[in-house]
Amino acid sequence: MRVYVVHLGTVLWWAFTSLAVGIVMGVFSAGYIPVTSQATNALSGLTIVIDPGHGGIDPGAVSASGLLEKDIVLAISRELESLLNQAAVRTFLTRRGDYDLADNVTHNLLERKRQDLQRRVELAEDCNADLYIAIHANYFPSSIWSGAQTFYYDSDVEGKRLAEAIQAELVRVLGPNKRLARPGNYRVLRDTTMPAAIVEVGFLSNPREAALLADPHYQARVAQAVYWGILRYLRS
Ligand SMILES: [Zn+2]
């Protein structure tokens, strides 16, 4: 009986260990990012505004197969929000559905765009965001170009560091890409007062990359790359 008890204890210990290892392996094989205490320490308590570009009557770039930038960047933004929330980051998405931020009565397209961008900046300022990250997809008349790329405002030293850190992780996580973080004179970068970066997640004009960007698994990887980029920035 005594022997039986010892054996039962051993069996239970192995069962517990195997279960724990199985859970950890499952978590990693699913590409899930475990919230380590290090990550939580660096991120917790921050407020980050995630700005999915376009929306509503403005689809952004459109791939040859009909994929819309506004839909892809919203899906990636939601993934990024979920990862950040697991690390106790307060997040604000500038939009959560298919709409822009302009007044409904504004019909002039240029004025709509101006109001829309101004409100995205105001939202980041009003919630005292520590970081502002816009998510967009790129487009070029030639279909040969591909690769994710980040942008920052020239005089925003911290924004440059943030964009470079995210660029490094995009290259590391998504594969070969010779693009570098570049300065860009975009209103949302120019008018925000916190470190700000635009992430162009890839080219919808490249059929191969467009197909990848429409894949939820790839969207999750892009979000993970941005997440790791934010961590890299905070630790550097
Ligand atoms: Zn865009």
Whether residues 45 and 88 share a domain: the answer is yes
Structural domains of the chain, count: 2
Length of the chain: 236
Name the one residue in this structure whose structure tokens are 């101006």: 114
Q: How far apart are the first and last CA of the chain?
A: 59
Whether residues 183 and 137 share a domain: the answer is yes
Whether residues 163 and 213 share a domain: the answer is yes
- Enter the pTM of the model: 0.84
Whether residues 24 and 45 share a domain: the answer is no
| CA 23–ligand 1 middle distance (angstroms) | 39
For residues 194 and 150, what is the distance between their CA atoms, to the nearest angstrom?
16
Whether residues 211 and 176 share a domain: the answer is yes
- Residue range of the domain that includes 4: 1-30
Whether residues 169 and 215 share a domain: the answer is yes
* All residues at 6 or more sequence positions from 10 whose CB lies less than 8 Å from its CB, including other chains: none
For residues 131 and 111, what is the distance between their CA atoms, to the nearest angstrom?
27
Cα 36 from chain centroid? 19
| CA 44–ligand 1 middle distance (angstroms) | 29
- CATH code of residue 134: 3.40.630.40
Could you read off the pLDDT tens digit of each residue along the chain, which spans 236 residues?
444 444 545 444 554 444 454 444 444 444 445 556 666 688 999 999 999 999 999 999 999 999 999 999 999 999 999 999 999 999 999 999 999 999 989 889 999 999 999 999 999 999 999 999 999 999 999 999 999 999 999 999 999 999 999 999 999 999 889 999 999 999 999 999 999 999 999 999 999 999 999 999 999 999 999 999 999 999 98
Task: Give per-residue pLDDT as tens, 169-221.
Answer: 999 999 889 999 999 999 999 999 999 999 999 999 999 999 999 999 999 99
Whether residues 10 and 53 share a domain: the answer is no
Whether residues 132 and 45 share a domain: the answer is yes
| CA 84–ligand 1 middle distance (angstroms) | 22
Whether residues 69 and 156 share a domain: the answer is yes
Residues within 5 Å of ion ligand 1, judged at the Cβ atom: 53, 60, 136
* All residues at 6 or more sequence positions from 74 whose CB lies less than 8 Å from its CB, including other chains: 52, 55, 95, 96, 97, 98
Whether residues 187 and 168 share a domain: the answer is yes
Whether residues 94 and 209 share a domain: the answer is yes
Whether residues 89 and 205 share a domain: the answer is yes
